Amino acid sequence: MDSLTRAPGDTILLGVGGKMGPSLTRMLVRACQSIGDARTITAVSRFSNAATREQLNQLGVKTIAGDLLHEGFIERLPDAANVIHMTGMKFGTRSDASATWAMNTYLPTLVCRRYDASRIAAFSTGNVYPLVPFDGPWSRECDNLGPVGEYAMSALGRERMFEYFCQQLSIPTSLIRLNYSVEMRYGVLVDIAQQVQRGQVIDLSMGYANVIWQGDANAMAIASLADASTPAHVINVAGEELLCVQEVAKRFGSLLDKEPKFTSEPAATALLNDGSVGHQRFGQPRVSLEQMIVWVADWISRDQPTLGKPTHFEVRSGKF
């Protein structure tokens, strides 16, 4: 709540139609209501899912549908003191790399020129880091970057565009390097649980990962608005615990009464972020890895709906 008082004014969220956008917007609405903050909250997306738009409208969120890559559309968007930039493209990069680069590196230039008098919190990804030894140290905000593959390179390009305009136009900016958000309908844990339930062979080559409960990730992202600065402030948003794919699969096997199947051996390196700076700043994640596993197992065991969007966290080549 304190972070919102230090980032006052109307807030616009760009690209809210993805996996995290709706829940982050709802959290922002509830937080503002709890402190009597009457700011206008605007959510922008193509809104291919009409139900998502209607749900946000019912919360009092102003929704605007359109393509952010169209300069005329973005110029007509309302002014806002705060911008949360959630747009990005990852999957399909191999088949249409140019679209990935346009979304991830060209769009930030349009956003920064339109909102040059605003404060910006922009989602990035832990994929900008190289693979590191699973037993540490994990990648920190101050470490050298080493993106693997075109998606990761374009994600670094997104950061560089925000950094450039942050300095050239004096736009306070926060860059959020996320690894990996999880809830019951999608995420690394859902991927593993479904493979166990379906009797599919699990590739252990990428033997380790970071995960963080989506609610915890949303809270840290919103709070990062207050830390936006010039030069840009960078923060890793990641869980505390090391997820061992083999051990987690065995745990799901126990909960789902299935015997997991494996292939390959875990490599000595993985994509792992050190989230300790964020934990010290905003507090420890509230939801433990074990709690996430139990919740996801229960959800999957009851055949509840999922988003059908695998993370492909197991990819080591950077080709998505």
C-alpha to C-alpha distance for 84 and 118, rounded to whole angstroms: 10
Share of the chain above pLDDT 90, in %: 94
Contact between 252 and 196 under an 8 Å Cβ cutoff? The reply is: yes
Residue 288 neighbours by CB distance under 10 Å: 14
pLDDT of residue 93: 60
C-alpha to C-alpha distance for 17 and 45, rounded to whole angstroms: 6
Contact between 82 and 12 under an 8 Å Cβ cutoff? The reply is: yes
pLDDT at residue 171 is higher than 80: yes
pLDDT at residue 91 is higher than 70: no
Q: Where are the alpha helices (DSSP H) in the chain?
A: 2-5, 21-34, 50-58, 71-75, 97-101, 107-114, 150-168, 188-198, 214-223, 245-256, 276-282, 289-301
Position 253: which residue type?
G
For domain 182-210+240-301, the CATH superfamily is: UDP-galactose 4-epimerase, domain 1 (3.90.25.10)
CB-hemisphere CA count at 13 Å for 32? 20
Q: 2-181+213-238 has which CATH code?
A: 3.40.50.720
**What confidence tens digit (pLDDT) does each residue in 185-237 have?**
999 999 999 999 999 999 999 999 999 999 999 999 999 999 999 999 999 99
Q: What is the pTM of this model?
A: 0.96
Which contiguous run of DSSP H or E holds residue 84? strand 82-85
Mean pLDDT of 22-41: 97
C-alpha to C-alpha distance for 223 and 219, rounded to whole angstroms: 6
Residue spans of the domains in the chain: they are 2-181+213-238, 182-210+240-301
Closest CA to 66 of 97, 110, 30: 110
pLDDT at residue 95 is higher than 90: no
Which 8-state DSSP code applies to residue 307?
Answer: -
pLDDT at residue 92 is higher than 70: no
